[in-house]
Amino acid sequence: MSTEREKQIISLLHENSPLTVEELAVSLDVSEVTVRRDLVAMEKKGVISRRRGGAALPDQGAEPLFVQREKKNHDLKRRIGQYAADQIREGEVIALDVGTTTAELAKALVKRRGITVFTSSFQVASILSKSNLHVYMIGGLIRFNEMSMVGSVAIDTIKKFNFDRYYLGLAAVNKERGLTDYSVEEAAVKQAFIAQSKEVIALVDRTKVGESSLLKVCEFDQLSEIITNRSDEGSGHPALDLGFQGKITLV
Cα 168–Cα 169–Cα 175 angle in degrees, nearest 5: 90
Distance between CA atoms of 119 and 189, rounded to whole angstroms? 10
Q: How confident is the model at residue 53 (pLDDT cuts 50, 70, 90)?
A: confident
Structure pTM?
Answer: 0.73
Residue range(s) of every CATH 3.40.50.1360 domain in the chain: 66-250
Distance between CA atoms of 70 and 110, rounded to whole angstroms? 18
Residue range(s) of every CATH 1.10.10.10 domain in the chain: 3-56
pLDDT, position 45: 73
Distance between CA atoms of 99 and 102, rounded to whole angstroms? 5
The CATH-assigned architecture of domain 3-56 is Orthogonal Bundle (1.10)
211-228 pLDDT per residue, tens: 888 889 999 999 999 999
Mean pLDDT (whole number) for 146-165: 96
pLDDT, position 48: 82
CATH 3.40.50.880 fits domain 66-250: no
Coil, strand or helix at 12 = helix
Which is more confidently placed, 129 or 17?
Answer: 129
